[in-house]
Structure 1
């Protein structure tokens, strides 16, 4: 009865406030796109220009209306105090190992952003790497997109302002705590792949504003190589597809340091392509998978054999192997076939497949050899979900997070 009364009070309160709300006016513009002869109106296109002063004013007015409404409700303080109580406990992220260093995030409880720490060895002391709470007084500058060099000496990290997808990439010497002078701009959802010798990294970015027509700033993604200690203006162009301006290219280097892989995407489509070349080569990239007929998630290699998690003819996903010396489809090998359970995550750790499956809403972890033989299931404490699977191909340890569906 108490719950019904409370819900009724909420409905009455919201209804009363809703009648008083006066929303800021939102103008419309005459914009029409022609898609293969089909006219599509887009009257709110102007709202996509996040740098526009007019859009910023519109957002500020919307936020002012929203927060004034929320804070004026009679149960605001009660809900806020209860949520504060529930959130006030220390929590950690899954560690990521680079060389002999372990990196992890820690939040004391009510910190606006979690703080990045490092340990020299698993049982070493916690060493502060970056505290993003000190980026700005109002907490609107966030730490994103971390990439550690192979030995953990250097960290390339993205900084985002006011929730923007656009990032500036900076480089920190973990041992000294100092940042290099260069700042890499025009990055959004960028991938960063360090060379094994720490001399620099590959990354993808969008064109500098003014170098493409207005409205094309989110097209013409390119891969560059940045050498540590040099300005961005000296970065070397590695790959582009001006004939396919809507494609994005995400570089990664195989853990054996042999290949440079490009995962190629088109917008938000889950179907992707895979290009590659030898790391020490300047040859053209080989388009191993270029039909965009399925999702292909590259999870590692053993020499010239590449392993992928794919939904090709397998909506619940399976793992396949492609030998790049004989890449024709007839030579593809199904290593772990599709099962009743859905593959949620998979990595190669200690030269074994570690596969997280979703079955009946809960997760389970299974271990397989690289030729697909089942080894064992890792028993979890109870029903729940696995997050943050961490480990590399030659590691003899791995980490993962686990959350049960109910507290104890």
Structure 2
């Protein structure tokens, strides 16, 4: 019934410059007669056409794909150039981004073994990459330690992480180029800035961990890909190594690999006290993992199978086991065992290893009604971060679990940080919300006092905006949170251009955070709406389970219900809603726009998973089978085919104005997803008389999946996206609502 609400609203006509609305002469895309046969339930054979299979070829290796990309990008640029608000958005975004930003200070070295020194990241506003500073006083700037802006002319080589050795003398840092998941580790002396000869390549999906004595570091790498396959080949056969400083990577010591399960992931954690090595084994993106352990002081190299050197504390994938810290030989773990919203437990690692892990646990912090998001141990205190209706809450506990109260926060927002050593006397944290830029506080462990450390000066008066948390009812009656931000004087007349954002997957929670990009939209007069869909982690694992595998349609229903609620509240109307999401959120946008094209005025799917039958054939795709299932499973084929965006584009359907976005160097969600989806949309429109809205694809160069994207590219992209969305939501149409 809500679908017809648009007829209840009066449609006024606003005269604004309008670009050519004639049918679009898209660049030609060749269609080939490729048909796959999948095994369905009960042995049924399912034939599926894939006419754009050739667009799966790597754009860096295929001339015909490169030609298609060039023609599509030229066509899109010609359209975007005509948008009336493009230049204005770019100018305003540049101004909004131009303010100093910092990360919380982190102590370099142990408090009792090194001088008082800290590192932090700082961006003066428009620098493409943030710079790492070293200081002996967090209140002073200090000196530049690492400046990634000197690594490339276009700012597309980024710092992907760094960590100091325990004695504070050395720093290992990771470089990533063009947004790729591939990382290279380098080492430098902190005092002099001298670069050592060490270089470790082919690191993916993880950082590095120093050995306690500073002799080297642990890391996970993947085999060197075949020529031309670095950005597309599946990520298989990870292996954990130790790199000894001053030696070539070829001499690194293999600590673990599992050739029997090449699609399993592995990640090593070295305990802060230097006594234990903890190995986490996963088979997907679910948090459930195996947990193995060995003493750090034992010889790293072993004869025979390196797997035999590890004691298997948990040898199944039934639960999550996340190491927090080790006090002597007592390991603290966050787990969902008998606690779907997680709790903190401990186990004696020197106890009887033969006993089942689950029978040897001691509870430290019990499960609460709100999900436990993270725990850190600093200065003999346990800091526990929770989400209460998507608002961050931090509770303090003793090592034994005694509750010491809550840390007061400025409002409904997000909080993070609280890093440090077991004997630290201080720690730092950040608070942010939609109307509050990231502000850094210093927390004194002994007194429990928080003092302001750094407050960004954005130059924007945020008092004229309102942020509120609401709840709406989804299709099946579930109560779903949604955050709204808009000007305080907004008139609820059902005619406000509204950006609806969502994700809904992989236990990722969309918590409140400041964004200069989104502020440009709201400042212009638009409404920001962020829906906390099922599939995320906002209410713990049950919320996630309700939106994964065979329940994935629930996520789409939640998003559709959010749009209908916005209309029912007279905030907006269907033709004025722009929907946006990236990665799994790009899949979300692609799915709902093919299911309810009548409900939206503009669609902005970015780096989305659009081909649900073949996603697991590329790079990290096999890790997502726990979330989506796989077309190799007969029980899942019909379900995946039922919502796969690429396979559900139909001729004769009027689709909203759409700007598909991807990047040529995205090796997380390879660009073929967006290529094929955009080609299918354009073909559907040109072969029928349904609709004349633009169906475009914007292809960024040297940008990857999004991590490390230069500020200049962020501004350019946001200007294009907002100008496109504004053109197709802010201008009123005289036609009746669909």
Q: Which has the higher helix share?
A: 2
State the alpha-carbon separation in 2 of the partners of residues 207 and 40 from structure 1: 35
CA contact (8 A) 1:299 1:308 kept: yes
Structure 2 matches for 1:138-287, cutoff 5 A? 138-210=154-226, 218-282=235-299, 284-287=309-312
Which residue of the partner structure matches residue 317 of structure 1? 342
State the Cα distance separating 1:188 from its structure 2 match: 1.0
> Secondary structure of the equivalent of 1:85?
helix
Sort the Cα spacing of 1:381 and 1:196 in 2 relative to 1 into closer, same or farther, 3 A. same
Q: Residues of 2 paired with 1:90 and 1:132: CA distance?
A: 17
Unaligned runs of 5+ in 1: none
Change in Cα spacing, 1:46 to 1:229, as seen in structure 2 (3 Å) is farther
Are 2:396 and 1:386 equivalent residues in the alignment?
no
Q: Identify the match of residue 371 of structure 2 among 342, 347, 359.
A: 342
The 5-angstrom pairing of residues 40-59 of structure 1 reads: 44=53, 47=56, 49=58, 52-54=61-63
- 1:37-116 paired onto structure 2 within 5 Å: 44=53, 47=56, 49=58, 52-54=61-63, 62-99=72-109, 100-116=116-132
Q: How far did 1:91 drift? A: 1.0
Number of the residue aligned with 2:443: none
Structure 1 Cα separation of the partners of residues 66 and 179 of structure 2: 13
Instruction: Tell whether the 8 Å contact from 2:225 to 2:233 is kept in structure 1 after alignment.
Output: no
Is the 1:146–1:156 contact (alpha carbons within 8 Å) kept by the matching residues of 2? Answer: yes
Task: Give the SS at the match of 1:182.
Answer: strand
Q: Pick which of 139-148 and 35-44 moved more.
A: 35-44
Q: How far is the alpha carbon of 1:53 from its aligned partner?
A: 4.2
CA distance in 2: counterparts of 1:45 and 1:318, whole angstroms: 48
Q: Match of 1:390, SS?
A: coil
CA distance in 2, matches of 1:81, 1:32: 51
Higher relative contact order (CA 8 A, sep 6+): 2
TM-score after normalising by structure 1: 0.87
Give me the whole-angstrom Cα distance separating, in 1, the residues matched to 2:68 and 2:289.
Answer: 36
CA distance in 1, matches of 2:54, 2:338: 38
The equivalent residue for 1:299 is 324
SS in 2 for 1:191: strand
Deviates more, 1:321-330 or 1:338-347: 321-330
Q: How many residues align?
A: 402
Quote the Cα distance in structure 1 between the aligned partners of 2:207 and 2:340: 27
Determine the C-alpha separation between the residues in 2 that align with 1:110 and 1:41. 47
1:209/1:217 contact within 8 Å kept: no
Which whole-Å CA distance do the structure 1 matches of 2:316 and 2:343 have between them?
A: 19
Residue 242 of structure 1: CA displacement? Answer: 0.8
In the alignment, the residues of structure 2 paired with residue 151 and residue 27 of structure 1 have an alpha-carbon distance, to the nearest angstrom, of 61
Show the counterpart of 2:503: none
Give the superposition deviation at 1:401. Answer: 0.6
Tell me how far apart the structure 1 counterparts of residues 36 and 157 of structure 2 sit (CA, whole Å). 33
Distance 1:61 1:104, change over 3 A: farther
TM-score (norm 2): 0.50
Does the C-alpha gap of structure 1 residues 74 and 122 become closer, same or farther in structure 2, counting only changes over 3 Å?
closer
Residue in structure 2 matched with residue 361 of structure 1 by the alignment: 390
Any conservation in 2 of the 1:191–1:252 contact (CA below 8 Å)?
A: no
**Counterpart-to-counterpart distance in 2, 1:166 and 1:31:** 31
Deviation (angstroms), 1:65:
4.3
State the Cα distance separating 1:397 from its structure 2 match.
1.0
Larger radius of gyration: 2
Alignment check: 8 A CA contact 1:265 1:271 kept: yes
Maintained 8 Å contact 2:212/2:273? no
CA distance in 1, matches of 2:394, 2:365: 14
* Root mean square deviation of aligned Cα: 3.2
Tell me which moved more, 114-123 or 55-64: 55-64
Secondary structure in structure 2 of the residue aligned to 1:180:
strand
> Which whole-Å CA distance do the structure 2 matches of 1:306 and 1:244 have between them?
27
Return the alpha-carbon distance in structure 2 between the equivalents of residues 31 and 101 of structure 1. 60
Find the counterpart in structure 2 of residue 397 from structure 1.
426
Stretch moving more, 307-316 or 105-114: 307-316
TM-fit CA distance, 1:316: 1.8
Deviations 1:324-383 (A, max 9, x none): 324522221221111112222211111221011111322121110122110121111222
Given that 2:237 and 2:262 are in contact with CA atoms closer than 8 Å, whether structure 1 keeps it comes out as yes
* Of 302-311 and 194-203, the range deviating more from structure 2: 302-311
- Whole-angstrom CA distance in 2 between matches of 1:107 and 1:349: 27
CA contact (8 A) 1:207 1:217 kept: no
Structure 2 CA distance for partners of 1:234 and 1:217, relative to 1, 3 Å: farther
Picking from 22, 29, 42, the partner of 1:25 is 29
How far apart are the structure 2 equivalents of 1:5 and 1:84? 32
- Deviation of residue 229 (structure 1)? 1.8
Aligned to 1:330: 359
